[in-house]
Amino acid sequence: MVMKVEPIYEVIHALRKDGIARKVILLTPQGKTYTQRHAEMFVQDDRRIVLLCGRYEGIDERVRDLLVDEELSIGDYIMTGGELAALVIIDSTARLIPGVLGDAESSREESFSWGILDYPHYTRPPVFDGHKVPDILLSGNHAEIMRWRRRQALQRTWERRPDLLERAQLTHEDMRFLRELGSDRTLKSSGEDTDESDKGC
């Protein structure tokens, strides 16, 4: 069963009658893969976002031709409809809106906001079943804690998702650390590291 063009056309045009700019996104396996960058761009976009969810075998091709601005997919698998994909996009975008999260820094220090995976997290107690929280996290030295977190995130990315390193914003120090891990990938520095001794990287 294929969704008809007329009802979808009428809905989108009814929405557009108020003169408010809208971007219509079709959720489909044929779309570009949705990433954190899309969420960031949606938050910055002045237009309202309309997420169009297919069902059954899909939609009449004329919907794409007449109404759709962009097509997105949340991954290489098939679901019964686009509703869950829409929820993924809504959640990942809404949390970037100021005031949605209690701590504004939270969304900037997570996986994919850095362009790499997240670092390990710990809480109390400091020892559980013989497993300790790393000493550095209990030291109170915030600069060293940030350095440890960055290195843990880089190592985790190198081990689990090395493909992300090819697009990540990496400093000279990041690249030096990855070379120590044995990464032989071609990596590009963002130029943020001002360490004079490492300009040859």
Query: What homologous superfamily does CATH list for 109-198?
Result: tRNA(m1g37)methyltransferase, domain 2 (1.10.1270.20)
Coil, strand or helix at 69: coil
Which residue ranges make up each domain of the chain? Answer: 5-94, 109-198
Over the stretch 114-158, which tens digit does the pLDDT of each residue have? Answer: 789 999 999 999 999 999 999 999 999 999 999 999 999 999 999
Tell me the average pLDDT of the chain.
89
Query: Is residue 172 predicted with pLDDT exceeding 90?
Result: yes
Over the stretch 65-110, which tens digit does the pLDDT of each residue have? Answer: 999 999 999 999 989 999 999 999 999 999 999 999 877 666 565 5
Q: Do domains 5-94 and 109-198 have the same CATH topology?
A: no
Query: Is residue 195 predicted with pLDDT exceeding 90?
Result: no
- Between strands 70-73 and 131-132, the pairing is unpaired
Task: Look up the CATH number of domain 5-94.
Answer: 3.40.1280.10
Residue-by-residue DSSP string for 88-123: HHHHHHHTTSTTSSS-TTGGGSSTTTSSSPPPP---
Q: When comparing pLDDT for 198 and 161, which is higher?
A: 161
